[in-house]
């Protein structure tokens, strides 16, 4: 029997929009998604809808990450999508910030694969994310970096150094920075700056505190340092961001 032909015949009989994606709704801590080449959502399970803040899948179809998430995170997700589609190679088990509210210390492990049409051309991606606390942590790596990231989110206003963070997980500075970059996709310093900017963005939206007070309260040296970093990550000055959000 030609098993390959039998398999193809079976899948051709499925409805055009495969019911298989419904299985992912049975896994409450797993976010499943499909996007086209433009980054528009084509499919999303229940957990993915929760991350996007929509009631049902139909509310997200045709939208992109930039419609739901902070710009800095949406830019990162889009860059990963493009890398997968352009190279044709998957991203497997990358640890990153959870796609939820700004300032969240949660981590997820994300995998993405390219999707091809009948001619073999890449037309989008499919992927899923799992919360780190749902991932097996026998090697201790995920657990150790969860503690470090939680510390960075809780003490973002403090003058944290790589030396302090490395010591907290029992690694040398070079080992820590190398592993952090491999796991998180950026250096500890850049990640901490992003955390500070996200907290600052929340205060700009939700309070009337002065920009200088927010800068100092979020761990920046001064107003100028804060403004430069904020504009680099958010593509707007702090005042422009506050005006737009209000």
- CB-based burial of residue 81 (10 Å sphere; 0-12 exposed, 13-18 middle, 19+ buried)? buried
pTM: 0.60
- Per-residue model confidence as pLDDT tens for the chain (246 residues): 678 888 888 877 777 665 667 777 787 778 999 999 999 999 999 889 988 889 989 999 999 999 988 777 788 788 889 989 999 999 887 766 677 655 555 677 889 999 998 888 999 999 998 876 544 444 455 667 777 888 888 899 999 999 999 888 888 999 888 888 876 767 889 888 988 988 898 899 889 999 999 999 999 988 999 999 998 887 789 999 888 877
What fold is seen in the domain 141-245?
Arc Repressor Mutant, subunit A (1.10.10)
Domain ranges of the chain: 15-134, 141-245
What fold is seen in the domain 15-134?
Beta-Lactamase (3.30.450)
- pLDDT of 137: 43
């Amino acid at each position: 029997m030609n098993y390959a032909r039998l398999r193809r015949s079976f899948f051709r009989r499925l409805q055009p929009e495969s019911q298989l994606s419904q299985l992912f709704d049975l896994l409450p801590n797993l976010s499943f998604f499909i996007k086209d080449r433009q980054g528009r959502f084509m499919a999303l399970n229940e957990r993915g809808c929760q991350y996007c803040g929509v009631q049902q899948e139909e509310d997200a179809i045709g939208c992109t990450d930039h419609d739901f998430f902070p710009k800095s995170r949406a830019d990162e997700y889009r860059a990963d999508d493009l890398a997968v589609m352009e190279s044709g190679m998957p991203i497997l088990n990358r640890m990153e910030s959870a796609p939820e509210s700004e300032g969240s210390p949660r981590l997820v492990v994300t995998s993405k694969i390219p999707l091809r049409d009948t001619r073999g051309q890449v037309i989008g991606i499919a992927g899923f994310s799992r919360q780190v606390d749902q991932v097996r942590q026998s090697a201790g790596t995920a657990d150790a970096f969860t503690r470090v990231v939680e510390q960075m989110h809780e003490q973002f206003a403090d003058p944290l150094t790589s030396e302090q963070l490395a010591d907290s997980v029992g690694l040398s500075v070079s080992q820590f920075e190398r592993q952090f970059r491999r796991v998180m996709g950026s250096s500890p310093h850049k990640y901490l700056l992003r955390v500070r900017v996200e907290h600052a963005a929340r205060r700009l939206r939700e309070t009337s505190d002065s920009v200088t007070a927010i800068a100092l309260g979020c761990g920046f040296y001064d107003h100028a340092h804060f403004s430069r970093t904020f504009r680099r990550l958010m593509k707007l000055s702090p005042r422009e961001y506050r005006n737009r959000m209000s």
